[in-house]
Amino acid sequence: MSSTFSAVPARARFIDDNWVRSDQYHNKFLLKDDAALEHALQNSTASGLPPIAVSAAQGKLLYLLAKTTHAKRVLEVGTLGGYSTIWFGRALPEDGRIVTLELEEKHAKVARQNFEHAGLASKIEVRVGPAADSLKELPSSEPFDLVFIDADKPNNPTYYKEARRLTRKGSVIIVDNVVRAGLVADPAQEGEFVDGVRELLRDIQADAGVEATTLATVGEKGYDGFTYILVL
């Protein structure tokens, strides 16, 4: 879902032209045109959804991670228009399954349209409502191979706790928007958006059952990053 900083100071949303040019240059060589993904972006914009989907390069990274880990069951926290969900769907085998959680019914409706257009509707279940509640309804007896957390940042610790319950040894958890233009590491910055990430990092540090790292990113969506977590 999100990859920008709509709720943080304007300076955090600065995007350097060099970053955009670099993304576009590499994408020319490494990404193929995909009508379904382009349609998802256009339909989301036309439907009034905010333009905060992951970038194409980030989507391809998620696709490759799902392929590399041989994921068959994916959990996504934060659907928006389903752009990242389609990337995951492209990576899964025929019997793969995605459960994606979305707060807004309007967003879920657009996402379902995009999944249908992409030919992936049969693989994807959209659950509407507060993600913290939806997560609690999922059984731990059916663990996920990969979890992508990209929703409201203050609830990151809650989402991580539930993701741990819903994964197994060898599963991967990825959390988006954890750098936020360096604001998370700036002690002068306060507020629920950076505090949610800081609490998440403390929870990961205290969790002996995982190994993790944060990788900062710059590109057409600005300066941010992912935390990659391996369940031991």
| Residue 13 pLDDT level (bands cut at 50, 70, 90) | low
Give ∠ CA 129-152-226 in degrees, rounded to 5.
125
Between these two residues, 3 and 220, which has the higher pLDDT value? 220
Contact predicate 164/147, CB 8 Å? no
Sheet containing 167-176: which strands, arranged edge to edge? 124-128, 97-102, 73-77, 144-149, 167-176, 222-231, 210-219
Q: In this structure, what token pair is assigned to residue 105?
A: 């019914």
Helices (H), the chain: 17-30, 35-46, 56-68, 83-91, 105-118, 131-136, 156-165, 192-205
- CB-based contacts of 112, cutoff 8 Å, min separation 6: 82, 121, 126
Digit-coded pLDDT (tens) for 137-168: 999 999 999 999 999 999 999 999 999 999 99
* Distance (Å, whole) CA 225 – CA 217: 5
**Is residue 2 over pLDDT 80?**
no
> Which CATH fold topology does 10-231 show?
Rossmann fold (3.40.50)
* Distance (Å, whole) CA 159 – CA 151: 9
Closest to 118 in 3D by CA, of 34, 62, 226: 34
Q: Quick one: average pLDDT of 19-40?
A: 97
**Is residue 8 over pLDDT 90?**
no
Digit-coded pLDDT (tens) for 97-134: 999 999 999 999 999 999 999 999 999 999 999 999 99
Q: Quick one: average pLDDT of 19-36?
A: 97
Digit-coded pLDDT (tens) for 215-229: 999 999 999 999 999
| Residue 59 pLDDT level (bands cut at 50, 70, 90) | very high
